[in-house]
Amino acid sequence: MTPSHAADREEEGWEVGNLRYALLGKGLDKAIDELEVWHRTFDQSWYLIMKAATPQIDAELDNLNRHHQPGHARASISSARLVRAALNDQAGATTPIFLRADGLDSIQVSAIPLCSAEFGRRVNSTSDVILDHITLPVARANARAFKRSIRDLVRKLSHADPLTFGLLNCKGVVEHGDSTTPSSNADENQSTVFTMVFRLPREFSSPRSLRNWLLDSEATHSLSARFKMAAQLAQSIGHVHTFGFVHKNILPETILVMDTPLSMTTRTTAPTTVHAVCMVGFGNFRDAEGSTLRTGTACGRRTSTATRGARA
C-alpha cells in the first residue's frame, strides 16, 4: 500500500467517525444533559428535611397539597408526603405486619430467571406479587432484634410507591420454618424464614432480573435507557437509606426490571413501553445505626451462584 492510499483510507476513517458522531452525538448529548439535570436536583439536604421530626413540615405539605399545584410540583409534594408517612413510626401501627403463614398456600409461585426473588399469583385472582425470602440462621444470637428490624422495614415499605421510591409496596411478611433444612428436631435446628410479600402493580409486567436483562443478546439497550435505569436504582438505594436501613445485597440478581407504560412513568398519554427498576433482595440488610453483622464473603471478587449457572 502506497503512502497516498494509506492517507486516503485514514481520511475516509475520519469521515466515517464524524458521520457516526453526527448521527449518535445528539442522543448522547441529550443523555448527558438529562443526567446533569438529575444530578443537580438530587439534593442531599432534601433527605435531612424529610427525616426531621417536625410536625410543621407535615402541616406545610398538607397545605400545599390542598392547593392546586402544577403537575411536576404536585408529584413532588405527593412523593414527599409518602416519604413522611413511611418515616412516621406510628403510621399504620394498627395494620398487621406479620401475615398468616397459610396465606402463601394460595399463591402459585414461579421462579424469576437469575433472580433471588420469586413471582407469585393467587389462585382465581389477577393480582401478582413478588416474594423475597430472608433466612435467619439458627445460631444468630440477636434474633429478636433482627425480627424487630424486619418489622420496621416492612412497615416503612408498606408506604412505598414504585415510581416514587424505586421500591415495591410491601403488603406484609410471613414468618415460617425453612422446609429445605434437613433436621430431626425442627424446633432446635430449623432456620427461620421471613417471606416479604410485595405487591406488583397491574401496569408492571414481565418482571426479570437485571442480570437476565443484560444477558439478553436479542435486546438492544440504549445509553439513555441505561442512564435512566441507573438513576432509578440510585433513587431506590437513597430511599432505603432515608428509611434508616443499609441494603447489603445489591446485585444484578436482586434488581427487578419490568415493563411499564410510558404514560405511568412520565405522566403522559403516550403508549410507549419503558423499563421500571425496583430493588429487592433484602436477605442481607441492617439498621443504619446498628453494628455491622460481619457476614458475607471476604473475597475481593464475588461471583454469584446465578452468574455461575448462566455461564455453565
pLDDT 10s digits, 152-199: 999 989 988 888 788 999 999 999 876 554 444 445 556 789 999 999
Instruction: Say if residues 149 and 161 touch (Cβ distance below 8 Å).
Output: no
Q: What is the mean pLDDT of residues 76-83?
A: 66
Paired residues of 107 in beta bridges: 122
pLDDT 10s digits, 94-152: 678 899 988 888 899 999 999 999 999 988 877 899 999 998 865 555 788 888 899 99
Range in 83-92, 98-107, 200-209 with the lowest mean pLDDT: 83-92
Buried b (16+ CB within 10 A) or exposed e, 201-239: beebeebbbbbbbeeeeeeeeeeeeebbbebbbebbbbb
Q: What is the mean pLDDT of residues 271-297?
A: 75
List the helix and strand counts (H, then E) for the chain: 11, 11
Paired residues of 273 in beta bridges: 261
Average pLDDT of the residues of the chain = 75
- How is residue 88 written as a grid cell? 412516621
Q: Say yes or no to pLDDT of 21 above 70.
A: no
- Strand, helix or coil at 223? helix
For the chain, percent of residues with pLDDT exceeding 90: 24
- Amino acid occupying residue 271: P
- CA 307-239-236 angle, 5° bins: 35
Instruction: Say if residues 123 and 109 touch (Cβ distance below 8 Å).
Output: no
